[in-house]
Amino acid sequence: MTGPASAQDLVKARGVLLEPVDGRRRLAPEALRTALVDLHDFWLAGRAAAIGIGGTGSGIALAAVGALGRRELAPHSDLDLVLLHEARTDVDHLAEQIWYPLWDAGIGLDHSVRTPGQAVQVAATDLRAAFGLLELRHIAGDGELTDRVHTAVRTAWRSGVRGRFDEIADGAADRWRRNGDVAHRVEPDLKNGHGGLRDVQLIDALAAAQLLDRPAADVAAARMLLLDVRTELHRLAGRARDVLRAQDADEAATTLELGDRFELARALSGAARAVAFAAEVGLRSARVALPRRGLAALRRPPVRRPLDSGVVEHMGEVVLARDASAARDPALVLRVAATAARTGLPVAASTLHRLSETAPELKEPWPRDALGELLSLLGTGRGMIDVVEAMDRTGLWGRLLPEWGAVRDLPPRDRAHVWTVDRHLVETCAQSARLTTRVGRPDLLLVGALLHDIGKGRGADHSVVGADLARQIGHRLGFPAADVDVLGELVRHHLLLPHTATRRDLDDPATVERVVDTLGGAGGRTSALLLDLLAALAEADSLATGPGVWSPWKQRLIGDLARRARALMAGEPLPRPTELGAEARALAAAVRADGKPQVSITGDRPAAVAVAMPHAPGTLAAAAGVLALHSLEVHAAEIRSVSDAAGDVVVHEFTVTPRFGSMPDPALVRSDLVRVVAGSLSLPEALARKERDYAPAHPDPDAPAPRVLWFDDEASGGVVLELRGTDRIGLLHRVASALEQECGLGLRWARVSTLGASVVDSFGVSGPGPGGALAADRRAAVEHAVLTAAGAAAARPTPGEPT
C-alpha cells in the first residue's frame, strides 16, 4: 500500500477525501472520520519509521490524544500528539522531524514530549491534560511503552480522583455557564456547550475512574449525532468550527438526511439533552461513589431526613421513603418533584427510574392532592426547571402530559426565541410564579403559562389548537368546567394584549372595545379575571422568550391597554389619552416660537428621544433618518400630534440605544434635522454611505424575507400595515418615506418594535377613501413600495396596476 510521502502529500490526500463526487459528498460523516484517522495514522507511522523510531524495546513511542486519540477526527481538527520516551538523548531531534513537516504543511498541531513519569505528573496537575492522556492511543514505536504510560495514567486517575472531584465538577459547571445549552441555543457550541462532546468525554473520564458505568445507548447515539453534525460543519465551513450557525444548518441537515435545519435542531436538542442529563446525573452519582478513606470510612452513612409524605433526603438527593409506593399514592410522583423544586435538591436518578417503572397513570380526573402537588411544583418558579427536565428525560413528564410530545425539542421558528418550545413553556411558567400575587386565580395563571404554546408543531394556528388541548388537559387535571373555559380562553388569546398594544392605536376607543368584546364583553366577572391573567401571562411569556423582549416600552403599552379595558368592563369612562410630558410640551412650544425642529435626549441605554417638528408629511421619515445617521437603533416610536390656535406640531417619541459608543449631543442631532428640513442634507445619500460603511460584513443568507400584513383598523375605518422583517440601518426612514412620500398616505400612528435583528413595525395609514380607507387594488402597490424599501426583491406591480 502506498501512502502520502510528505506532509504536503498528506494535506492533498486529506483534500481528496473531502472533494465531492458528482456534486455530492464523497463519504458519510462516520466513514470520513475513519478515513481521516487511518490516513493520519498511516502517515505518522511511516514518518516515525523513516526517522528511526523503532518498535518494542526501543524506549520511544508516538501516541495520539484528543480527537485523533479517540478516532473522532473531524476534517479540520488539530492533531494532538505525544512523543513518549525513556531518557532518550535524541528525543528533541526526533520530535522536530515529526512536528516541523506538519507545521510547514499548515496542519494544526498540539504536541508534547514526555517521559512516563512526566506524563503521569502532568496528568496529576493539569485536568485538561489528564482527560487527554486517559484517551492515549498508540501510533508508532514501542507499543509496550505506550501501554505502560496509559495504564499508569489511568491508575493514578482512579486513585487521585477524590482529591480532584471538586475541580472536575466546578470546571464542568463553569463551562456550561460560558457556553450555554446545546439543546436550547439557536447557534449551539457542539463541543463545549452543556450537552456537547466535552460532556461525553466527562462521562468517559468518570467511567475510567470506576465511578460510573459506561454511557448508555442513548448517550452513545447522541455522541454519534453530535460528531456527525460537527464533521459536516467542518466540511461546509472549510475550517475548524464548533458553533453551528443558522446559515450552515440547512445544508448540514440535507447532507445528514434530516430534512431542514428545524428537523436538525430538534434532533440535536434531543441528543444534547440526553448527554446533559447523563452528565449531571453522572457527576452526582460519582460524588456519592467516591471512595471514603481514613476516618470518613468509619463514619455511619448519612441519616435519611424526612421532607414530605413518602419523600426523604439522602446524601443530598431527594429519594423515596422505604415504605413509599406510587401504586398506593397517586400523588407521589408530583410530590417528589415539588419537594425537589422547593428544596433545590436533585431527584436521585434511581428514584426517577423506579417511579418511571412503577407509577401508574393517573385516573381522570386527577385526585385533588395530585393537582395540588402539580400546582406546588409550578409555583416554585426557577426551582421547577431542572426537575421538569429530569422528569421529561425519564418519561414521567410525558406520562403526566401526553400532549407534551409534540413540543418536546421543537425548535422555535421566530428568531426572537432562544429556547425550544417545551423549554420556553417551562421558562414561562417559572416567570409566572413571580406574578401570582397580581391575579385572583394564580392556579390558572401557572397552568395557562405551562400550556400557552402547547398547540405548536401541529400544523395549524397554535392558539386555536392549544385552546382545545388546554381544555382537554384542564378536564383531566380536575378543574371545574368554568375554570376549564377560562383556561381555554387564556391559551386562545395569550397574544391578544401584546399584539394589540404594540400594533394598534390605544387612544382609539374601538381598539379597547375590540379587546373587551373578544374577552366576553363588559360587566362579566370572568372577563375581568381573564384580562388580569392575560396581562400577567404576556409579561411572563415575553420574559421567557429572550433578552430584551420585555421592555419598559412594551410594559407600558400593555399596562395602558389593560387599564383601559378594565375601565370599560367596569362601565367607567375610558382614560384620556396620555398627556405629553412637560419636556415634550416645551419642545412643541419652542417649535411654534421659531418654526424649527427641536430635539431632547434623556437616559442612555435605552434613551428616550423626543423630536418636535411643524406638522407636515414626512416628519417621521426625517426624524428616523437623522437618528439612524447618528447610529441610534430605534426600538420603539410613537407619533403624537399637538394642535392649538398657534398651529400644529407633531412630536415623535423614540426609544433608542446607540449601536456603538455613547449617545450623541442633542444639538448635533437637531442641527442635522434642520438641514434635512431645509433640503441641504440628503438623507437617502447619507444613509446609503452609512450602510456601506457599517452594514454587517457577512449578512445572514437565511434571514427570512420581509412580509407585509394588512389589518382593518376598527377605530378609524382606515387600515393597519404591519411590516415584519430584518432590521437594517435607516429601515424606519425608508419605510416611512415610502408610505408618506411615494404612496401619498397619511400616518395616523406608528408602533415600532425592534428586537435584535428582527423588526415588527405597524403603521396606521390613511388612504384617499372615506374615513382613510385604502382600496384593495391600491394595497398591492403600497406593499411593493414598502417591501422595496425594506430591501426585498419584490415583484413590480403588473402593468396598469395603480401606483
What DSSP assignment string belongs to 638-653? EEEEEEETTEEEEEEE
pLDDT tens for each residue of 162-211: 999 999 999 999 999 999 899 877 789 999 999 999 999 999 999 999 99
Domains contained in the chain, CATH given: 7-162 (1.10.357), 180-289 (no CATH), 304-400 (no CATH), 421-578 (no CATH), 582-789 (no CATH)
What is the pLDDT, as a whole number, of residue 423?
93
Distance CA 274, CA 181 (A): 12
Distance CA 232, CA 249 (A): 10
What is the pLDDT, as a whole number, of residue 699?
54
Query: What is the side-by-side order of every strand in the sheet holding 632-644?
Result: 598-603, 607-614, 647-658, 632-644
Whether residue 135 contacts residue 129, with contact meaning beta carbons closer than 8 Å, is answered with: no
Q: Nearest-CA neighbor of 743 among 616, 618, 614, 613?
A: 618
Question: Going by C-beta distance under 8 Å and a sequence separation of 6 or more, which residues neighbour residue 156?
Answer: 120, 123, 124
What single letter denotes the amino acid at residue 91?
Answer: V
H-type helices in 134-193, by residue range? 143-179
What is the pLDDT, as a whole number, of residue 798?
36
Q: Nearest-CA neighbor of 41 among 84, 10, 74, 76?
A: 10
Task: Dump strand ranges (E) for 668-802.
Answer: 707-712, 719-726, 746-755, 758-766
- Which pairing describes strands 719-726 and 607-614: parallel, antiparallel, or unpaired? unpaired
Secondary structure (H, E, C), 579-611 = CCCHHHHHHHHHHHHHCCCEEEEEECCCEEEEE
Report CA 689 to chain centroid distance, whole Å.
33
First-last CA distance in the chain: 73
Distance CA 444, CA 492 (A): 14
Secondary structure (H, E, C), 409-468 = CCCCCCCCCCCCHHHHHHHHHHHHHHHHHHCCCHHHHHHHHHHCCCCCCCCCCHHHHHHH
* Residue 214, CA distances (Å) to 64, 135, 220, 248 in order: 22, 14, 10, 33
Q: Nearest-CA neighbor of 82 among 73, 91, 74, 72?
A: 91
What is the pLDDT, as a whole number, of residue 3?
59
By the 10 Å C-beta count (0-12 exposed, 13-18 middle, 19+ buried), 260 is classed as: exposed
Q: Which residue has the cell 437617502?
A: 684
Report CA 264 to chain centroid distance, whole Å.
15
What is the pLDDT, as a whole number, of residue 701?
54
Query: How many secondary structure helices (H) and strands (E) does the chain include?
Result: 30, 15
Secondary structure (H, E, C), 500-564 = HHHHCCCCCHHHHHHHHHHCCCCCCHHHHHHHHHHHHHHHHHHHCCCCCCCCHHHHHHHHHHHHH
Instruction: State the pTM of this model.
Output: 0.79
What is the pLDDT, as a whole number, of residue 801?
33
Largest Cα–Cα distance in the chain? 104
Distance CA 678, CA 682 (A): 10
Question: Going by C-beta distance under 8 Å and a sequence separation of 6 or more, which residues neighbour residue 25?
Answer: 235, 255
How many other β-carbons are positioned within 10 Å of the β-carbon of residue 526?
Answer: 14
Distance CA 609, CA 597 (A): 13
pLDDT tens for each residue of 104-163: 999 999 999 999 999 999 999 999 999 999 999 999 999 999 999 999 999 999 999 999
Distance CA 122, CA 153 (A): 10
Q: What kind and span of H or E run contains 49?
A: helix 29-50
Low-confidence ranges of the chain (pLDDT < 50): 1, 645, 792-803
What single letter denotes the amino acid at residue 217?
Answer: A
Helix (H, G, I), strand (E, B) or coil at 155: helix
* Residue 91, CA distances (Å) to 53, 83, 86, 113 in order: 10, 8, 9, 8
- Which pairing describes strands 311-314 and 317-320: parallel, antiparallel, or unpaired? antiparallel
Whether residue 751 contacts residue 638, with contact meaning beta carbons closer than 8 Å, is answered with: yes
Q: Enumerate the β-bridge partners of residue 12.
A: none
- Which pairing describes strands 598-603 and 719-726: parallel, antiparallel, or unpaired? unpaired
Torsion of CA 559, 562, 568, 572, to 10 degrees: -40
